[in-house]
Structure 1
Amino acid sequence: MEEKPAVIRKIIHVDMDAFYASVEQRDNPDLRGKPVAVGGSSKRGVVAAASYEARAFGVRSAMPSVTAQRQCPDLIFVKPRFEAYKAVSSQIREIFGRYTDLIQPLSLDEAYLDVTQDKQGVGSAVKIAKAIRAAIREETGLTASAGVSYNKFIAKLASDQNKPDGLCVILPEQGPGFVAGLPVRRFHGVGPRAAEKMAKLGVNTGAELAQKDEAWFARHFGSWGNYLFQAARGIDHRPVNANAVRKSIGAESTYFEDKRSEAELRDALEEIIDTVWDRIHRNQARGRTLVLKARYSDFRTITRSRTVGQMLTDRTAIAQLGHALLDQIMPVEMGVRLLGLTLSGLAEQRDVLPDSKPQAHFTFD
């Protein structure tokens, strides 16, 4: 197990509430109080973000637009305005910078902040979180939820606990108990298939996960098992990395029925492209290398990649290159059970931030 840090960190995870949709409702009064989806309404369209009014009908991000429209007939589709979202994100980042230099954005609408050093001498992580949320509301007209805790894993869980417009504080002595009461699906990184695998192994909650030893985790989850072993015990020693740069952005899908025909694979790839493009936009990412991954029914996995001279900055270029890579494996020799697409060789977009000295007598409360 990793060594425990000498000083207990004070971490805040800030997550904007329905960010894209909230910006649209703020800028267009006619949309306020109505179910709104940011994204394309075409047959191949995908929901990039949904307002809370839309979420009440089960509409969520990454959902096909046709499904969203079926679940909410009165749903209003709005084309995304990424420049507007980026501008608001910059405002929010400036607010963060008033309180700490250790900021690790995860996307345009969420970030980790390490406020242990207490830049303004506020003396309380909770007070800082409240001040940040108040400033965001006053200066952008939007709401944010925040989680305050002693590590990144729990802070991120906490920010989702009282959404929207909520605040949740988990003290160090409360961490293991808080995690124990959560379904494993809430754990960051545990997707539907991982949760399904755990359920088959008789594990559905953090408490049940914490009962397993390291050998069990290694046997069933390999190298990822170490993360799960510590997370189940409320442990996470990862620092907030202000200089963190994502090396790649991608998505993949595993299919219950193998894809065999070219039409099936083309349609499947288009769905993945929509998801990848949404993530690229959320992170304002640019890259030169696109990688296609395919896993056959016998579990043999192949990849095809291509690096281009200019940054891939629009969906059309990524889609064209993605289908060109798919051409290289056509016709498939057997069924495809997994398909994925990843943009790598990303351009660095983080600024190097200075260190500052820690402050004494600093508490969560």
Structure 2
Amino acid sequence: MNYKTLALSTLALAAGSAAFAQSSPGPQVTLYGTLDANVQVLDGAARQTRVQSGGLSGSRFGLRGSEDLGGGLSAFFTLESGINVDDGSYGQNSFWGRQAFVGLGTPYGKVSLGRQYGSIYTLTNEFSQFSNVGTGASTAVIGGFGGYEPVRGSDNSATGNGGPARVNNSVKLESINYGGFSAGALWGLGEVTGNTRGNRVADLYGRYTGHDFDAMVSLVDDKADALGRNVRTVSAAAAYDWGNARFNAGAMQVNDRSMADRDGKGYWLGASYRMGQHLFKGQYVESKNAGALADGKTQAFGVGYQYDLSKRTALYSSVTRFKNDGVGYVSRAAGTIPVGLIDANDRNLTEVVAGIRHSF
């Protein structure tokens, strides 16, 4: 009988301890993701039909978490992996290629370390009617000046840091919101022995949000000493919400201070209107080369439609027309244009897309 009493007491204590552990505040971890796939038809000098991953949003899954440390302090982290839904491979050439960072929040702002979004990614994504994904339904593919791709990053940027869209080896400082104003700074360490400024990315931004108005300015200095590249990008964008309508505009100027002299500039204008579950949108983008490739220009105009089946699932479609001019033009389209799709006699391209996005 005593043994039974002891056993029951032990079980009661264990149950009480488990209940206390579950009800006590602790780390909060969330698994999340987005799966986005579409059928894309590209029509130029030749035609191609393909299934692509990412039209409204880049496909991904990730983990994010935070812990309240008391005294206004908190710890947080994000691990996010890009997915190519069309073939099951991972994106960004790395498993946690979208984001991987850990940080500390304070009453004045936060600091984080790892692979993180730069301000160019935020500006071209949040102030555009179309996502700045690498493939899919997008006229937000802004940039592409002479092979330097400020929107998504490329081998022509500081490759040791992953490009200005996502920056490796970075330290990021972000302020809290003061009456609608916020600011941030990011420094991507090049990790070059004997040269603390070699292959580095410096990124500064400021933003105001309030009264249905949102605006952001960005300065990114991207330097790759080993490759002789030195590119500075200045960007600005704004958006205004008027009832069910949203208007957006932005501009970007790239100053290539290397021997290649692949300067460029561009702007975009867009608008959308929501009617319940229906969203209609359109956007015009122009990218123009300067410097060594001064005659190259691409114009793109796209219209899109989105139908929200629920808060997490949407059907979408879009039609985009790309017009490429000049000897030094950069053929702007969603992702890399397959060989043979355009030629010297027919440089223009029409893109038609229909897809589905689901988030969890």
- Normalising by the residue count of structure 1, what TM-score does the alignment of the two structures yield? 0.26
Higher relative contact order (CA 8 A, sep 6+): 1
Larger Rg computed on CA atoms: 2
Higher helix share: 1
Instruction: Name the structure with the higher strand share.
Output: 2
